[in-house]
Chain A
Amino acid sequence: MTQSNAAIYELSTPLTMVVGSYGSGKTEISVNLAVATRMRGCRVSVADLDIVNPYFRCREAQVLMREHGVRVVIPPGAQQFADLPIVVPEIKGMLEPQEGVFSIFDVGGDEVGARLLSSFSEPLKGRPYRLLQVINSRRPFTSTLEGCIRMKEGLEESSRLKVGGFIVNSHLITDTTIEVVLEGFELAQKLSEETGVPIEFVTAMGELAQAPELAALPAPILPLRRVMLPPWLKDEPKDDSSDEKSNRMPAGRVKPLFVP
Chain B
Amino acid sequence: MAKVLMKGNEAIGEAAIRAGCIHFFGYPITPQSEVPEYLAKRLPEVGGVFVQAESEVAASNMIYGAAGVGMRVLTTSSSPGISLMAEGVSYLAGAELPVVIVNIMRGGPGLGGILPSQGDYLQATKGMAHGDFDLIVLAPSSVQEAVDLTIRAFQLAEKYRNPVMVVGDGMIGQMMEPVDFPEVEVGPPLAADDWALTGCEGRSPRDVNSLFLDANDLHNHNVKLKDKFAVITENEQEWELYSCEGEYDVLVTSFGMMARICKTAIDVLAEEGIKVGLFRPITIKPYPYDACREAAQKAKRLLCVEMNMGQMIQDVQLATRGAKEIDFFGKAGGVIPSVEDVIQSVRETLAKTGK
Contact = CB atoms under 8 A, between A and B. Distances in A.
- Chain A in direct contact with chain B (Cβ < 8 angstroms): yes
Interface of A: 22-23, 53-56, 81-83, 112, 136, 138-141, 143, 171-175, 230-234, 237-238, 248, 250-253
B176 A53 contact: no
Contact of A54 (B10, B41, B174, B268): B174
B34 A55 contact: no
A10 to B, nearest CB: 27
Contacts, number: 100
B348 to A, nearest CB: 17
B176 A23 contact: yes
B286 interface: no
Contacts of B3: 138, 172, 175
Contact of A251 (B41, B171, B178, B338): B171
B177 interface: yes
A233 B267 CA distance: 11
Interface of B: 2-7, 10, 14, 30-31, 34, 37-38, 41, 113-116, 170-171, 174-178, 257, 260-261, 263-265, 267-268, 334-340
B115 to A, nearest CB: 5
Contacts of A230: 171, 175, 260
Nearest to B42: A140
B174 A53 contact: yes
Contacts of A143: 4
B49 to A, nearest CB: 20
B340 A237 contact: yes
B268 A234 contact: yes
Contacts of B6: 23, 139-140
Interface of A is mostly: loop
A233 B264 contact: yes
A231 B5 contact: no
B41 A141 contact: yes
A232 B338 CA distance: 7
B5 A136 contact: yes
Contact of B336 (A56, A138, A250): A250
A234 B338 CA distance: 9
Contacts of B5: 23, 136, 138-139, 171-173
A32 to B, nearest CB: 17
A253 B339 CA distance: 11
Given A56-B174, A81-B113, A234-B339, 16 more contacts: A23-B6, A55-B115, A55-B174, A81-B115, A140-B4, A140-B14, A143-B4, A171-B5, A173-B176, A173-B177, A174-B178, A230-B171, A230-B175, A234-B267, A250-B115, A250-B336
Given A138-B4, A141-B41, A231-B339, A81 B264 contact: no
A152 B315 CA distance: 51
B7 A54 contact: no
Given A55-B115, A140-B10, A251-B171, A172 B339 contact: no
6 contacts: A83-B30, A138-B178, A173-B177, A232-B263, A250-B115, A252-B175
Contacts of A56: 174-176
